[in-house]
Amino acid sequence: RKTTVVGFALLVASRRFQSSAGYKGLTGPVLQQLVAMLMDTTVKETKTLADRSIVDGSSAAASAAVADEDLDSLEIEDTGYQASFARLATLGDIKIDPCPQISDPALGLGQILKPVQAQIGDAVQHLPVEARQFVLQAIAQS
């Protein structure tokens, strides 16, 4: 979720996006969808439940067992590229945060939009009241 918000905010704030009339018209709808995603609490609940199962170890143990079974069931050479690739492919999930400097997606949205606030001001004013307040608050807090 954070990666999506940061990516689309960077897209909306980009000079190329703001200089093209066709793209500039998409600023409002993109911001509205980003705000809707940030305000949606069901996404947080789902992620929290998934994180709890990982902490419990049940999901991690099951994932490791499946990865070991997958690795054992592969019929490949013991040496060479294919063996290394198969081992890498069955390692499991590795979480990488592409933007570790941003801890809160809403504040990240504000940080990215603050420098281009004047260019996107018209689009922000045409947002629904709740979305407009959310964006303006995010910019003010950054």
The pLDDT confidence band at residue 69, using thresholds 50, 70 and 90, is low
- Other residues' Cβ atoms within 10 Å of the Cβ of residue 51: 11
Read off the pLDDT of each residue in 28-40 and give the average, rounded to a whole number. 94
Predicted TM-score (pTM) of the model is: 0.64
CA 52, 56, 60 angle in degrees (round to 5)? 95
Read off the pLDDT of each residue in 47-68 and give the average, rounded to a whole number. 51
From the list 142, 138, 140, 141, the residue with the least C-alpha distance to 34 is 138
What whole-number distance in Å separates Cα of residue 68 and Cα of residue 61? 11
The residue among 20 and 80 whose pLDDT is bigger is: 20
The residue among 90 and 113 whose pLDDT is bigger is: 113
